[in-house]
Amino acid sequence: MVFFLHDVPYADEDNNVEETEHPRQVAQASETPTYKTALWELLREETVVLLTVTFFTAFNKIGLETSVTPLVLMMFRWKEVETSIFFICCGLEVLACYVGLSYISKKFHDRTIILWGVMLSCLSQAWFMAVCTNTYNPGRLPFYLTGVAVHLLTFPVDAATASLFSKLTDPSIQGVAHGVRNAVYSTSNIIGPVWAGATLHMLKVMFGVTIGIGGLVLAMILLSFGRLKEPQGQDEPQGAVGSVNADPDETTLLLPNSNA
């Protein structure tokens, strides 16, 4: 945590505020963020929930990618050609999901997209636990492909999480906050493959633990759902003029009107 807060300067003595004030009030009282402001922002309930969602989605995604090749080899005897075609089809579905997200995000809030994404992720893991085996069983190919298709629908959750994370964190510490988020994301990318590779011969344990983590994350989202709402003025369509830039300094003319 110290490394991410390295660039945050100390507050001046004249800008000290009472401990009872909210971090956003601190940011308004002083233009320079403080260590206390950054720490409070990162420890807020909604911030912790979004960081946990980031860890779970990345852990789940990279774990599945790691287990695909050995699983299809054991269950369906697929070689390099079949596996490559499978990954190409998966990539096309993910691309279609992100294209669809550009339309869905205009109709639903980020928190709703995240909630449904985590629910589908838990559902797909439960489906895998019931379908996947360590033995040759080509008859389960349609069921396995169904689980993969459902799981790939959850990939755009990362974009919704990053979007909501930016909206709920103070603008003065966006760099620090996203640095912490990227650290969480990178950590899950390390732990995910290690977990999937170590439990490949214990599929029930692999998917069971993932379902347990997903259930915990889902409970956190439901309990904090009210606090995951975008700040007022940021939940309007992006094309609405003046919906976000309500700061009078940003709407004041830089040059005086010569016709006045």
- Render pLDDT for 35-77 as a digit per residue (tens, 0 to 9): 777 888 889 999 999 999 999 999 999 999 999 999 999 999 9
Residue 115 backbone zone (phi > 0: left; psi -120 to 50: alpha; other: beta): alpha
Per-residue pLDDT band for 16 (boundaries 50, 70, 90) equals very low
C-alpha separations of 250 from 161, 234, 236, 240 in Å: 27, 16, 18, 16
Looking at residue 255, its pLDDT comes to 58
Per-residue pLDDT band for 230 (boundaries 50, 70, 90) equals confident
Own/partner pairs, 41-45, CB within 8 angstroms, 24+ separation: 41/169, 41/170, 41/173, 41/177, 42/1, 42/176, 42/177, 42/180, 44/168, 45/224, 45/227
The pTM for the full model equals 0.76
Say which residue the tokens 């760099």 belong to: 175
Mean pLDDT is lowest, of 51-65, 81-95, 203-217, 225-239, for 225-239
DSSP string of 38-73, one letter each residue: HHHHHHSHHHHHHHHHHHHHHHHHHHHHHHHHHHHH
Rounded (5°) CA angle 8-12-17: 95
- The DSSP secondary-structure symbol of 12 reads P
Per-residue pLDDT band for 23 (boundaries 50, 70, 90) equals very low
Looking at residue 217, its pLDDT comes to 97
Looking at residue 38, its pLDDT comes to 80
Compare 220 and 2 and report the one with higher pLDDT. 220
Residue 77 backbone zone (phi > 0: left; psi -120 to 50: alpha; other: beta): left
Q: Which of 57, 67, 212 is nearest to 133 (CA)?
A: 67
Mean pLDDT of the chain: 82
Looking at residue 140, its pLDDT comes to 94
pLDDT tens for 162-214 read 999 999 998 888 888 999 999 999 999 999 999 999 999 999 999 999 999 99
Q: Is the pLDDT of residue 242 over 60?
A: no
Looking at residue 243, its pLDDT comes to 41
Looking at residue 254, its pLDDT comes to 54
Helix (H), strand (E), coil (C) string for 124-187: HHHHHHHHCCCCCCHHHHHHHHHHHHHHHCCCCHHHHHHHHHHHHCCHHHHHHHHHHHHHHHHH
pLDDT tens for 201-220 read 999 999 999 999 999 999 99
Across the range 3-24, mean pLDDT stands at 44
Looking at residue 99, its pLDDT comes to 95
Q: What span, in angstroms and rounded, lies between the C-alpha atoms of 11 and 91?
A: 48
Q: Is the pLDDT of residue 142 over 50?
A: yes
Which tokens hold the place of 169?
Answer: 């964190």
Q: Contact 172/34 with Cβ under 8 angstroms?
A: no
Say which residue the tokens 């797909």 belong to: 124
